[in-house]
């Protein structure tokens, strides 16, 4: 197994992150910007060095690669939060009773709360801070903005709508599988807080956190799947018992590829409970988004007709994120809750 790509055990995940290597380079004194070519090499090694469950065209892979290259470059170059934090004089407050901390750049010190005893962070303290998942709750005071350090996936599982359905899903799947150690995958889990919550309740589960955007710190999971949701590793084929997702799918460029990949990942008797939406898709072609949502719908209906899956689709006429949409028959567009059991 390539430790830099695909399915990565917790024991090697943190050390294998490209973002960690980049942070160390910046702290060591690198001042020049990371070029698109440099970042693209990292992206190709990280996200395209393994065989995909579902084949993509060159154009499809190209769009995904460009999107990830732009995201990573904006973080580590001038103006990006990570680079600014590493290169600036930063002052940190003590942890509050709720474990919250505040980090101020020098020009923001006048806005610090009264009574704070602020500490100028050393380079090593910055790395320790970034590696501590509790620091994701810290607030970053810079310029005119105040924002949390965390980006994606920093929500407790009880905040997910699926949290109320999970106990029944686990009971039924365990009965179907005849074992307790189910393999559970969070599709688009981000920093992995929700999956960490699940592991505390069900320590016998084997957890897989599938995420595209890596943060410096993360909550532990048995395995980390560093991949685009459209391009999951082939080694997961037929190996996952439960797949769930909160709202990560709203960013998908190619919903049809994700649906095919999820069904392929499921073991016999496994279930998928995912809400699909599209209002923030990375795909710039609105017509292509709708075509792919319809293709995903047709794929699922064909699987149902062939008695390969049990299927339930509940259309939503109002996005959970905001804004009302019309939903045509025969498509998942723009929002639908999809339940699949693989037969």
Note the pLDDT tens digit of each residue in 169-187.
999 999 999 999 999 999 9
Q: How confident is the model at residue 270 (pLDDT cuts 50, 70, 90)?
A: very high
H or E segment and range at residue 340:
strand 335-342
- Most confident region among 82-86, 164-168, 237-241 by mean pLDDT: 237-241
- Which region among 62-66, 183-187, 214-218, 336-340 has the lowest average model confidence (pLDDT)? 214-218
Percent of the chain with pLDDT over 90: 57
Q: What whole-number distance in Å separates Cα of residue 312 and Cα of residue 273?
A: 10
The two tokens of residue 170 are: 């686990």
Task: Give the residues across from 140 on adjacent strands.
Answer: 103, 147
User: What pLDDT does residue 4 have?
Assistant: 60
Which one has a higher pLDDT value, 61 or 75? 61
Which one has a higher pLDDT value, 246 or 241? 241
CA angle 176, 245, 212 (to 5 degrees): 120
Sheet of 139-142, strand order: 119-120, 90-92, 102-105, 139-142, 145-148
pLDDT > 70? residue 277: yes
- Which region among 130-139, 143-152, 180-189 has the lowest average model confidence (pLDDT)? 143-152
- Which region among 17-31, 127-141, 289-303 has the lowest average model confidence (pLDDT)? 127-141
Q: What whole-number distance in Å separates Cα of residue 339 and Cα of residue 18?
A: 35
* DSSP assignment string, 138-200: -EEEETTEEEES--SS-S-GGGSGGGGTHHHHHHHHHHHHT-S--EEEEET-TT-HHHHHHHH
* C-alpha count within 13 angstroms, C-beta hemisphere, residue 139: 16
Pairing, β 102-105 against β 240-245:
unpaired
pLDDT tens figures, 301-319: 999 999 999 999 987 655 4
User: What pLDDT does residue 236 have?
Assistant: 97
Mean pLDDT for 264-269 is 97
pLDDT > 90? residue 140: no
User: What pLDDT does residue 303 have?
Assistant: 97
Q: What whole-number distance in Å separates Cα of residue 301 and Cα of residue 268?
A: 18
Mean pLDDT for 41-57 is 95
Task: Give the residues across from 272 on adjacent strands.
Answer: 243, 340
> Hey, what domains does the chain have and what are their CATH numbers?
83-148 (no CATH), 157-342 (3.40.50.150)
Residues near 201 by beta carbon (within 8 Å), at least 6 away in sequence: none
User: What pLDDT does residue 327 have?
Assistant: 61
Q: How confident is the model at residue 97 (pLDDT cuts 50, 70, 90)?
A: low
């Amino acid at each position: 197994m390539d430790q830099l790509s695909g399915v990565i055990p917790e024991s090697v995940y943190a050390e294998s992150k490209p973002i960690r290597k980049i942070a160390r380079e910046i702290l060591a004194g690198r001042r020049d910007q990371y070029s698109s070519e440099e970042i693209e090499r990292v992206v190709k090694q990280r996200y395209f060095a393994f065989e995909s469950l579902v084949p993509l065209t060159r154009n499809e892979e190209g769009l995904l690669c460009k999107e990830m290259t732009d995201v990573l470059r904006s973080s580590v170059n001038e103006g990006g939060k990570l680079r600014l934090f590493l290169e600036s004089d930063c002052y940190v407050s003590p942890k509050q009773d709720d474990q919250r901390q505040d980090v101020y750049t020098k020009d923001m010190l006048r806005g610090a709360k009264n009574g704070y005893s602020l500490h100028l962070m050393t380079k090593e303290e910055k790395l320790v801070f970034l590696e501590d998942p509790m620091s994701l709750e810290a607030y970053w005071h810079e310029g005119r903005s105040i924002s949390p350090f965390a980006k994606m996936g920093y929500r407790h599982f009880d905040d997910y709508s699926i949290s109320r359905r999970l106990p029944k899903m686990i009971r039924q799947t365990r009965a179907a599988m005849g074992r307790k150690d189910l393999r559970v995958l969070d599709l688009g889990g981000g920093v992995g807080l929700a999956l960490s919550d699940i592991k505390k309740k069900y320590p016998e589960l084997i957890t897989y956190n599938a995420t595209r955007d890596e943060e410096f710190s993360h909550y532990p999971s048995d395995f980390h799947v560093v991949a685009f949701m459209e391009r999951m590793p082939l080694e997961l084929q037929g190996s996952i018992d439960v797949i769930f997702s909160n709202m990560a799918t709203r960013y998908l460029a190619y919903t049809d590829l994700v649906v095919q990949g999820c069904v392929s990942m499921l073991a016999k008797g496994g279930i998928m409970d995912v809400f699909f939406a599209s209002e923030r898709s990375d795909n710039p072609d609105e017509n292509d988004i709708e075509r792919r949502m319809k293709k995903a719908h047709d794929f699922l209906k064909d699987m149902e007709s062939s008695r390969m899956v049990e299927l339930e689709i509940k259309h939503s006429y109002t996005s959970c994120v905001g804004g009302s949409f019309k939903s045509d028959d025969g498509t998942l567009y723009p929002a639908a809750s999809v339940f699949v059991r693989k037969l």
